[in-house]
Amino acid sequence: MAPTTTGPEILKGCQLCIWEQWNRQFTGKEIRFDKAYSACCTLGGKHGGLMPCICMPLSVVCRDRSNDNNWDPFHPCDTAKIILANRLFDGGIDDFWPINVTTMLAILTMAGFCMGTELPAVFVFGDSLLEVGNNNYIATLSRSDYVPNGIDFGRPTGRFTNNRTIFDIIGQQFGLDDFIPPYLAPTTSGPVVLKGVNYASGGAGILNLTGYIFIKTINMDGQLDNFVNTRQDILSLIGASAAQELLSNAIFTVEMGQNDILNNYLVPVISVPEQIVVSPQSFISAVIKRYRLQLTRLHSLGARKFIVVNSAPLGCIPYMRDVNPAAAGAGCYEYANQIAETFNAQLKSLISELNSDFEGSIFLYVDAYKIFSEITQNYASYGFENADSACCKLAGNHGGLIPCTPPSNVCPDRTTYFFWDPYHPTDAANVVIASYILDGGTDYVWPINVRQLLNRQMA
């Protein structure tokens, strides 16, 4: 779309081929046609070419179409098309200059291998923002495998949204031909795992005590244990050398920590009865300390390309607005936002340290807080009409008191809402968020964005 991309500029980087289809006329002798210049389907004229209406019901059709070059006054017969196609693919320079299509395809195929365009495997660790159905297979209260969840996907899948997750969309942008499957699905076995696996679990956190209010979740340590099993499967399938190469160039996405704040620190009496009340700073320090061990463990298992996502502004989700109406007022619950900011500051320092400690690896820091804030504070410019209430709602001024369930009311146009339910974005919001993660500047993704990471080959 650049104004300078005109004229000869559009030919740069392309192979321009000229096919001498019409400049080199067939002769009956050369191709063995009985009639090289007359129409098979004819109504008038020495060569059957006088009627401008081409071949009509009143026309006379030759008995053996294989002996005629032309079907009607304008178009070749099937036999002629076969000959033309053969020349298109395999003709010499008299027919196709400077190379034919078969040669060009071979060059493009080799170029693909040389440029390393093979798609990487993608492994996803996280909570309900990235879950694609693992909780369908465990006894938990944190699940979404029922309507109206998945209303625009065509069915409930276990995703906590109306359609796709953020990294479903990013995977499609990568060029993946299918969504990364959940680890616990029975079909996630064999060669399927070579393309990647999603371990995310709704309600999961960095700390093993997080998410007790849901009875059961698969927290980060459990997700890493599951990856160990996948890694062994990969080793068995392709051997140690190929497995090392696959893992070193795979994309490892990790999005954790928000449930440690929402469903641990902010509800300690319910979630962690034995927890001694500590300051937010001390609590977050303990969370980050554990996170460091987990990311280091993932590195020891062969991961080299990391995408680590920080916390969104938790005080601005419909749930927090409704359970803290006095503190939130007409805006966000700032205390929750402050804790999220504390987590983010310590996480960014950790990512910087890991980039220094592990040469030959790269850890991306995705500033979800800034991305969410940018979109929700300027929602109209992104095409949204609502950025503070749930589309799927049953109770609360912002629809934030009860999760999305069959009795809930669903907004008719999901593309106008940022939030799907009390906690999670809609598919429309996820599309915008994904665009920032893929192509955003260093204010949003640091030190490089995900598209740049995708093109980086690791030793």
Contact between 228 and 211 (Cβ < 8 Å)? no
Asked about 59 being catalytic, the answer comes back as no
Name the residue among 394, 445, 357 with its Cα closest to residue 166.
445
Contact between 237 and 190 (Cβ < 8 Å)? yes
Contact between 450 and 170 (Cβ < 8 Å)? yes
Among 95, 233, 424, 427, the active-site one is 424
Asked about 421 being catalytic, the answer comes back as yes
CB atoms within 10 A of CB 26: 16
Cα 72 from Cα 94, distance rounded (Å): 27
Cα 358 from Cα 247, distance rounded (Å): 15
Hey, which residues does 364 pair with through a beta bridge?
Answer: 307
Hey, which residues does 96 pair with through a beta bridge?
Answer: 19
Angle at 359 between CA 357 and CA 365, to 5 degrees: 70
Among 260, 388, 421, 427, the active-site one is 421
Among 38, 95, 127, 128, the active-site one is 128
Cα 223 from Cα 417, distance rounded (Å): 31
Name the residue among 429, 416, 326, 302 with its Cα closest to residue 368.
429
Give 199's contacts (C-beta < 8 A, 6+ positions apart): 123, 124, 125, 126, 134, 182, 183, 218, 223, 226, 227
124 in helix, strand or coil? strand
Asked about 128 being catalytic, the answer comes back as yes
Q: Which residues belong to the active site? A: 128, 421, 424
